[in-house]
Structure 1
Amino acid sequence: MLALILLAVVSSVFGARPGFHGTGNLEWRDCSNSGDSWLKVNKFDISPAPITIPGSMRVTLDSNLSHQLKDAVTMDVVIEKELLGVFTKVVCVKDVGTCHYDDPCHFLNTFKGVGGCPKQLADNGLPCTCPFNPSQIRLPPTQFDVTKVSSEWSFLATGTYHIKISMTEKSSKKVRGCIESFLKISYNKLG
Structure 2
Amino acid sequence: MISYLFMILISLAAVKGQYKFENCGTASDVIQLTHLEINPHPMKIPSSVIFSLHVDASADVISPIKTEFKLSKATWIGNIQVPCTDGVGSCTYDDWCVFCKTCSCPILAGKQIMNMPMEVSTSVPTGEYSVEIRLTSKTGQKGCVKITKIKVEK
Q: TM-score, normalised by structure 1?
A: 0.59
2:98 partner SS: helix
In the alignment, structure 1 segments of 5+ residues that lack a partner are 1-13, 16-21, 112-116, 118-127
Matched, 1:185 2:152: yes
Residue from 43, 47, 56 that aligns with 1:51: 43
Q: Choose from 112, 119, 128 the match for 1:137.
A: 112
Structure-to-structure mapping, 1:54-133, within 5 angstroms = 54-55=46-47, 61-108=53-100, 111=101, 117=102, 128-133=103-108
Look up the SS of the partner of 1:32 in the other structure.
coil
Counterpart code for 2:111: Q
Task: Please tell me the residue identity of whatever aligns with 1:185.
Answer: V
Match of 2:27 in 1: 34
Task: Report the count of equivalent residues.
Answer: 140
Code of the aligned partner of 2:128: T
**Which whole-Å deviations, capped at 9, do the CAs of 1:51-77 have from their partners, x for residues lacking one?**
223347675543212222332532110
C-alpha root-mean-square deviation of aligned residues, in Å? Answer: 3.2
- Matched residue type, 1:86: G
Shift in Å, 1:181: 1.0
TM-aligned CA deviation for residue 29 of structure 1: 0.7
Tell me which protein shows more strand as a share of its residues. 2
Post-superposition Cα deviations, 1:114-145, rounded to whole Å, max 9, x if no partner, equal xxx3xxxxxxxxxx253222231147xx9x79
Q: CA 1:23 to 1:170, structure 2 compared with 1: closer, same or farther past 3 Å?
A: farther
Structure 2 CA distance for aligned equivalents of residues 93 and 145 of structure 1: 15
* Cα shift at 1:40: 1.4
- Are the counterparts in 2 of residues 25 and 47 from structure 1 also a CA contact under 8 Å? no
Structure 1 runs of 4+ with >6 Å offset: none
**Residue type matched to 1:82 in 2?**
A
Q: Share of identical aligned residues, percent?
A: 24
Cα deviation per residue 1:67-100 (whole Å; 9 max; x = unaligned)? 2233253211000112224111111122211112
Task: State the distance in 2 between where 1:167 and 1:43 align.
Answer: 17
Contact residue 64 and residue 96 of structure 2 kept, 8 A: no
Q: For residue 159 of structure 1, what is the amino acid of its counterpart?
A: G
Structure 2 gap segments, 5+ residues each: 1-11
TM-score (ref. length: structure 2): 0.71
Give the aligned partner of residue 163 of structure 1.
131
Letter in 1 for 2:146: E
Tell me, in whole angstroms, the C-alpha distance in 2 between the residues paired with 1:130 and 1:56: 23
